[in-house]
Amino acid sequence: MSQDGSHRLLPRSPLTKAAALFLCYWLAWKAAAVFEVQPHVSALYLSAGLSTAVGMIGGWRYLPAAFLAICVVRQLDMPGPLLDDIDWGGALRQVLVYGGTGLLLRRRWLAMPARLTLADALHFVLLAFAATSVSAAATLFIPPFDRLPASELGAVFLSFWGGDFAGLLLGLPAIVLGWNRLHRRTAGGRRDDTPTAPLHGIRSSAGLIGLALGVSLLSLLPPQLTQSEAKLGILVLFPVLLAGLMRGVLMGYLVATLVCAIQILAGRLLGLPVDGVLDLQLVLAMSAATALLAGAAHDDKHFEWQHANFDLLTGLANRHRFQDQLEHELQRAARSGQPMALMYIDLDGFKAVNDRLGHHAGDMLLQQVAGRLRACVRETDTVARLGGDEFAIILPDLKELSITDRIGHTLLERLQQPFDIDGDTAHISASIGVAVWPRDGRTPTELIHHADRAMYEAKRLGRNRLAHHARIATPPPAGAATQAAGA
């Protein structure tokens, strides 16, 4: 994410910034009260994650406003007069430690792509552990905790550390994931159109959520039914780990949030004792950490697979993926006996658009061409970009050979329509060559060679037309070739 993209989403006027910060801290303060499992003991302190997000997203200029917001929000719940007995030390501790942590994360944040890498996730978890430890230790030197007897300092340290650790690991990812999704929509980022098969069973969202609910109940009910002191909360890490490894960071985090909500609710309903609060906080923190690390590992692998199989600019299959898919479809055609076809597509007039409007416009044009190609084919067809302005389409299971002509002429018609490129209008057309299995070849090499020759034959005959191997298909409507030549 670029720094300019971040500033476009931040409030612009100082008054709006202050109001937004105040609202966020007020919500975080109220959330801490909602998650309070014992008087003055919260299961998670989301304000820690918010302060880190302020430093990471907004930079150091936002930290003074965050300090004032923390002071005012806390003062609103005080019984005394306004500005009386303000917790200056606690607010300063939070801004310095967690705001400073955000500043340390800021460089990674600005350079981070729209996904969380495993290295970034590990760096964040370790930094969160260190920051919460420093913050909890600093609390012991701030009134009124600096006057506590030495025997109580350990419990106070763990209470603050556990709540902040859980709040940081659960709160900051929610802000980052939401911010990234909002930024992609605002910046008009390209949607991920990588084809995926429908998910069933345990890998589906319903399956993972059902497993999380089942394991959460399993961790809570047996100790209550048997009146035992066994602590089974650690079991909830299993569905979180499974969700992260199978579906990535977002699903892992959603499952972690679900099991954490169940654990907190159970703690309130069952009257969790004070000595069990730290166990709950650790379950919350480790659920979030597991979701981030396992999910980032999955996303890294998926990202590598995408780069190896799909064109980065258009999202279409790349040449390597095209070759594999063509061999697969040929084997399937040999088993079923159903004909299949291969289309080779070369754009007419693309170089002129690229020279006139620039390479950036050329890239935008290729992205729009990819979208039109996908819209004209069937779900079972494979659209690939072979390089430059050359594309290919695999058409399996042709019950009628006329399907190739119907799809081909639809493509010609759609690609002739004007393209809007940042306010400029571009006109192109396409020359399409078709080779059919088994009529025009039985191997990938033969089909590719014959489809390529047919495409060049279409260009030779005037462009903006469809040509079959060894014969020319019905020419396009009158005047189309003239329009393409002018483009």
Mean pLDDT of 365-391: 94
Run of H or E residues at 465: strand 465-468
Distance in Å from the first CA to the final CA of the chain: 37
Phi-psi group of 199: left, alpha or beta (phi > 0 → left; psi -120 to 50 → alpha; rest → beta): beta
Question: Please, are residues 435 and 355 in contact by the beta-carbon 8 Å criterion?
Answer: no
What's the CATH number where 446 sits? 3.30.70.270
* DSSP code, position 309: H
425 SS3 class: strand
| pLDDT in the model for residue 90 | 81
**Least reliable range by pLDDT among 92-106, 273-287, 302-316, 358-372:** 273-287
Asked if residue 268 has pLDDT above 70, the reply is no
Choose one of 256, 290, 309: the last residue of a domain.
309
Asked if residue 1 has pLDDT above 60, the reply is no
Domain assignment present for 268: yes
| pLDDT in the model for residue 198 | 57
Residue 109 sits in the same domain as residue 232? yes
Question: Please, are residues 57 and 109 in contact by the beta-carbon 8 Å criterion?
Answer: yes
Residue 232 sits in the same domain as residue 153? yes
Report the percent of the chain where pLDDT is more than 70.
Answer: 81
Return d(Cα 430, Cα 455) in angstroms, integer: 9
**Least reliable range by pLDDT among 35-49, 187-201, 221-235:** 187-201
Residue 304 sits in the same domain as residue 330? no
Question: Please, are residues 131 and 101 in contact by the beta-carbon 8 Å criterion?
Answer: yes
| pLDDT in the model for residue 271 | 59
pLDDT digits (tens, 9 = 90+) for 335-366: 999 999 999 999 999 999 988 888 899 999 99
CA distances from 120 to 44, 105, 413, 433 (A): 23, 9, 47, 47
Asked if residue 11 has pLDDT above 80, the reply is no
Mean pLDDT of 222-243: 76
| Residue 481 pLDDT class (50, 70, 90 cuts) | very low
Run of H or E residues at 407: helix 402-416
Asked if residue 413 has pLDDT above 60, the reply is yes
| Residue 78 pLDDT class (50, 70, 90 cuts) | low
Residue 420 sits in the same domain as residue 291? no
Return d(Cα 71, Cα 86) in angstroms, integer: 7
Q: Where would I find the beta strands (DSSP E) of 332-461?
A: 340-348, 382-387, 390-395, 419-421, 424-426, 429-437
Phi-psi group of 40: left, alpha or beta (phi > 0 → left; psi -120 to 50 → alpha; rest → beta): left
432 SS3 class: strand
Domain assignment present for 193: no
Question: Please, are residues 234 and 283 in contact by the beta-carbon 8 Å criterion?
Answer: yes
| Residue 188 pLDDT class (50, 70, 90 cuts) | very low
Q: What is the pTM of this model?
A: 0.74
Domain assignment present for 32: yes
Domain assignment present for 314: no
Residue 255 sits in the same domain as residue 389? no
Choose one of 247, 282, 309: the last residue of a domain.
309
Residue 94 sits in the same domain as residue 14? yes
Exposed (0-12), middle (13-18) or buried (19+): which is 390, by Cβ within 10 Å?
middle
| pLDDT in the model for residue 323 | 94
Residue 61 sits in the same domain as residue 205? yes
DSSP string, 107-142: HHHHH--SS--HHHHHHHHHHHHHHHHHHHHHHTTS
Run of H or E residues at 212: helix 205-226
Domain assignment present for 218: yes
Return d(Cα 145, Cα 140) in angstroms, integer: 5
471 SS3 class: strand
Q: Where would I find the beta strands (DSSP E) of 349-389?
A: 382-387
Asked if residue 275 has pLDDT above 60, the reply is no
Domain assignment present for 276: yes
| pLDDT in the model for residue 41 | 66
pLDDT digits (tens, 9 = 90+) for 159-183: 889 889 998 998 888 888 777 766 6
Mean pLDDT of 383-411: 93
Return d(Cα 377, Cα 408) in angstroms, integer: 9
DSSP string, 273-303: -GGGHHHHHHHHHHHHHHHHHHHHHHHHHHH
Residue 372 sits in the same domain as residue 472? yes
CA geometry: angle 474, 476, 480, nearest 5 deg: 160
Domain assignment present for 256: yes
Where in the sequence is the domain holding 380, given as residue range(s)? 319-486
Return d(Cα 453, Cα 476) in angstroms, integer: 19
Question: Please, are residues 466 and 435 in contact by the beta-carbon 8 Å criterion?
Answer: no
Q: How many domains does the chain have?
A: 2
Residue 332 sits in the same domain as residue 414? yes
Return d(Cα 324, Cα 307) in angstroms, integer: 15
DSSP string, 85-104: S--HHHHHHHIIIIIHHHHH
Residue 369 sits in the same domain as residue 265? no
Which of the given ranges, 208-222, 266-280, 412-426, has the highest pLDDT on average? 412-426
Choose one of 309, 329, 350: the last residue of a domain.
309
| Closest to 253 in 3D by CA, of 244, 262, 261 | 244
Domain assignment present for 421: yes
What mean pLDDT, rounded, does the chain reach?
A: 82
Question: Please, are residues 45 and 167 in contact by the beta-carbon 8 Å criterion?
Answer: yes
* DSSP code, position 477: S
Which of the given ranges, 28-42, 60-74, 80-94, 237-251, has the highest pLDDT on average? 237-251
* DSSP code, position 487: -
| pLDDT in the model for residue 480 | 43
The upper half-sphere exposure of residue 146, i.e. CA atoms within 13 Å in the direction of its Cβ, equals 7
| pLDDT in the model for residue 452 | 94
Residue 353 sits in the same domain as residue 305? no
| Residue 193 pLDDT class (50, 70, 90 cuts) | very low
CA torsion sign for 264, 265, 268, 273 is negative
| Residue 190 pLDDT class (50, 70, 90 cuts) | very low
CA distances from 275 to 37, 156, 271 (A): 11, 12, 12
| pLDDT in the model for residue 112 | 63
178 SS3 class: helix
Q: Do strands 429-437 and 465-468 pair parallel, antiparallel, or not at all (unpaired)? A: parallel
Residue 287 sits in the same domain as residue 379? no
